[in-house]
Amino acid sequence: MTITSRAARTAPPSQHAPRPSTAKATRSGSRIDPTYYWMILPVLALFAFFISLPALVGVFFSLTNYAGYGDWKFIGLMNYVNIFKDPAVLQSYVFTFVFALTTTVVVNVVSLAIALGLNAKIKWRTGIRTVFFIPMVLSALIVSFVFNYLFSNTLPVLAERYGMTPLATSILANENLAWIAIVVVTVWQAAPGATIIYLAGLQSVPSEVYEAADLDGAGTWRQFTSLTLPLILGYLVINVILGFKGFLGTYEIIVGLTGGGPGMATQSVAMRIFSGFTGGDYAYQMANAVIYFLITLLISVIQLRIIQRRGVSL
């Protein structure tokens, strides 16, 4: 009896019994500090008032014949039906997507080449990087006006002097070549941002990988295709997705270079929507904006799925 009672007194407590301090810590840990709500509620209110509410109002007016002023009446989906029958709107969609695809490819090729050069062991590497990143901080509208002068005046004079007849006139006035000028200026300004991302990817690759490849006799091109490109593929995906999404909304450079011309050859969807807001086509172009938003949202969802499959985090 004595041994049994003593053992009972010295037996350790059951491991399954919750400790009071642990249970209290768990309950307190599941609670969220009310301060976070006071921090996020003003942001949600501002977002709802300045973005969500105007968007809903715009969707409503897309179902009317509102011109931006005066009276209006409800016409249902008539604006949306007319959008798909309007050749000018369809042309702007074709131009925008062709421009976005072309510019995305060119920007990534140029940026990756620049990043490979800047990542090499060259003299004055820091100074050269600074020069390459200057276009990134300049205003797109100012850059486009400068290039407008170069394409309209300087380039034709030089072309005429050296006998290059096709370039003796401004390419901005040529319906078949004006879009190339827009691509060139966009690449000039967008390449530095993509280059920074590629440089971050290249610097994350261990140098031991290239040392082992050198020992195996792999050449420069083989190292790039078999080592560099696969190891920075996540950065490539990020650049492609961010670039394509940004180029779909191109506006300032087109305004400064061609104004959507000659004719309507270089008019993007964003430019057509904005011009309609001030031209008495508010409801019609608001329907166009809703369609464009849904298309962009669908593209964003597809891109998000690609990112998730690749295991890349933005």
Model pLDDT for residues 154-205, shown as the tens digit of each residue: 888 888 888 887 778 888 988 888 999 999 999 999 999 999 999 999 988 8
Q: Report which of residues 245 and 278 the model is more confident about.
A: 245
CA-closest candidate to residue 197, choices 133, 147, 249: 133
What integer best gives the mean pLDDT of the chain?
A: 83
pLDDT at 313: 53
Q: What pTM value is reported for the model?
A: 0.80
Task: Please give the structure tokens belonging to residue 151.
Answer: 């394409």
pLDDT at 100: 94
pLDDT higher than threshold 70 for residue 12? no
Per residue in 41-92, pLDDT (tens digit) is 989 999 899 988 988 998 999 999 888 888 889 998 999 999 999 999 999 9
Give bridge partners of residue 45 from the DSSP assignment.
Answer: none
- Over pLDDT 90: what percentage of the chain? 33
pLDDT higher than threshold 50 for residue 6? no
Alpha carbons within 13 A on the beta-carbon side of 213: 17
* CATH number given to 84-310: 1.10.3720.10
**Domain residue ranges of the chain, discontinuous segments joined by +:** 84-310
Rounded (to 5) percent helix, strand, coil in the chain: 75, 0, 25
pLDDT at 159: 85
Exposure string of 146-172, with b = 16+ CB inside 10 Å and e = fewer, is ebbeebbeebbeebeeeeeeebeebbb
Q: Report which of residues 29 and 52 the model is more confident about.
A: 52
Give the mean pLDDT of 258-287.
87
CA angle 158, 161, 167 (to 5 degrees): 55
Q: Report which of residues 268 and 310 the model is more confident about.
A: 268
CA-closest candidate to residue 202, choices 123, 115, 125, 124: 115
